[in-house]
Chain A
Amino acid sequence: MAGLINNWQEQAKQLINKTESDWLKSVREQALSKLSGLQEPNRKLELWRYADANRLSQSIAAAAEPRPENPLSSELTEQALVIRISENGFELSTDCPDWLKIKNIQQISENQWQEMIFSQETVVNLANVALFNAGVNLEVQSSAAEQELVIVYDFKDQDKWQYVSNRIELPEHAKVKITEQYKAGRLNLINVYHISDRAELIRLQDFRLTQSEQVVSFNQFEIASQASVTNMHVHMGGSIQHHLHRVNFNGNEAKYKSGSINKSFDNNNISDLVEVNHLYKNNESDVTHRSIAKDRSQIFNNAKALVAPGADQSEIEQDLKNILLSEDAKIFSKPELEVYADEVVAAHGSTIGALDEQSLFYLQSRGISIEQAREIMIESFEQEALVC
């Protein structure tokens, strides 16, 4: 796999020649020069310890199997605005509504660009900065109340990595629900969400992959005072899925609540990492993961909270539960707290086990087959992570 960084560099150089604005050129050049000092992702890295990074450089065959079903009952509402991102840029399902301004990500101005901190740990995400050539900039208008939009990632080419970068801005008081849904393509994705004072975001990351599909995503949430973010992740299937959510509280009295359902089968490899930075006083984060691994698949789910010095009255909850459905499946689950403030309320826990035998028997004793009993138990387990 010697080629990954070289590949990125070569592609980036070509892209830079073709590029766009000067400031974007320099953004790419900086990323490129940083890349040259780094190694490919590997198991020595904290964030790739249980992810099979080798798969990132393998070529993949077109998928024949069906996509896993969404365990959530709430399906997309019909009238939601759909933004489809593909090789052809972006397309809208209807005319752009007046509560939204949308443009291609390459067309933003320099001062809209958000510097992100990447390191060896996040080298794959750094590659996106050098290479992105699709994505949207969404400026929700403050008139948006209870609006809903869907971003669909839908690339024809199965084998070629696609680098997508989105920037999404919610002004004060705006209230929206944004679903990001994976359709097809080998996707390296960055999302930066800016949530202004008192804005409310409900976001659903619905990533159900067939056995050969691959996704790497980096999601940064900048949350201002009294804002609220409810984030639901559904990750199922895939040759590799690697998701990192980084949340920064930049004000006070804001709330971040996330629920994850990770389900793996066959030889899937899913990483779901959530990192919350309590940089200021009086913010609340609540992270729940429910993961279920079957066959010889692997899941790595991590919740990390950092409380900066002086960020008193932070409230943190991390609740990670995992179920192994076979002896060959593996789950690595780690709640982590790094606290430098004095007055903090924190609760965290993690369990790994099989389905409860007594409960299964109870269902069976009423006439329900063991297979259906397992399904019911799994469903009930997933419910605990439903946050919206």
Chain B
Amino acid sequence: MLKINDVYAKAGDKEILKGLSLEVKPGEVHAIMGPNGAGKSTLGNLLAGMPHVEATQGSVDFLGKDLLDLEPEERAAEGVFLAFQYPVEIPGVNNMYFLRTALNAQRKYRGEEPMDSAQFLRMVKQKIKDMNMRDDLLKRPVNVGFSGGEKKRNEVFQMGVLEPKLAILDETDSGLDIDALKIVSDGVNQLRSSDRSFIIITHYQRLLDHIEPDYVHVLADGKIVKSGTKKLALELEEQGYGWLNQ
């Protein structure tokens, strides 16, 4: 599904990713851990196409396409979804309207019929129920005045509606209370399927108690320095990242 091959990338003027390689197959869940500033968000941003994040070397193949060659909206329509570490507030734009516009833009790109508002509403109501979300958030402007946890939940809800093929969750668990963590993990688990993959960036192994990863990687100084199974996350929790400098 996703093949990142020896990528070097800059964020602004600063070289952040330095020879990163990673392969994600359909249905797999990869967790990425690593110290602050290592380049984890930069990786997610690079995949989603954030401005000022640029690959200088290497390649990224997504379902047979050169991902880095696509516009952000094309990547989304191809099935890439990034749950932001810091979701943006957009005053004056209603959450529902935003989501329907997004969904229909993606459908149009894929040559599918647009969803009318009645269909959309029905679908969204079902998702709200499935994902145990509060529906009042949908009537409000996108992320405006949402608490930290509400913003993260809204990201997961958007993921549920857009049904991406590859979801990248950037610290979606940070700032969540225990119940919210459960809701968010349930949301992810419900979406897990043999043709959908996840990259989960997190600092805490507790999330991985809820979402069982196939692989755990350590990203440090712009590349993946260690890979393992869920056990690696437990070791990291005990040892921290001091060993990286030895």
Contacts and interface: CB of A to CB of B under 8 A. Distances in A.
B87 interface: yes
Chain A CB count within 10 A is highest, among B50, B71, B87, B158, for B50
B178 interface: no
A372 B71 CA distance: 14
Contact of B101 (A361, A372, A377, A384): A372
Interface stretch (A219-227, A323-331, A362-370): A362-370
A382 B76 CA distance: 27
Given A361-B50, A380-B93, A384-B91, A366 B71 contact: no
With a 10 A CB-CB cut-off, give which of B76, B141, B162 has the most chain A CB atoms.
Answer: B76
Interface in A167-195: none
Interface string A357-388: 11101111111111011001101111110000
Contacts of B88: 356, 358-359, 361-362
Contact of A384 (B50, B51, B73, B92): B92
A241 B245 CA distance: 66
A143 to B, nearest CB: 38
Interface in B61-79: 71-73, 75-77
B73 A364 contact: yes
Nearest to A369: B73
A307 B97 CA distance: 43
B51 A369 contact: no
B72 A365 contact: yes
A237 B85 CA distance: 40
A291 to B, nearest CB: 16
Interface string A328-368: 00000000000000000000000000001111011111111
B162 A367 contact: yes
13 contacts: A362-B84, A364-B71, A365-B50, A366-B105, A366-B158, A367-B76, A368-B102, A369-B71, A370-B71, A372-B105, A376-B93, A380-B93, A382-B92
Interface of A: 356-359, 361-370, 372-373, 376-377, 379-384
Interface of B: 48-51, 71-73, 75-77, 81-82, 84, 87-88, 90-93, 98-99, 101-103, 105-106, 109, 141, 158, 162
Given A361-B72, A364-B72, A365-B81, 7 more contacts: A359-B88, A361-B49, A361-B50, A364-B73, A367-B103, A381-B92, A383-B92
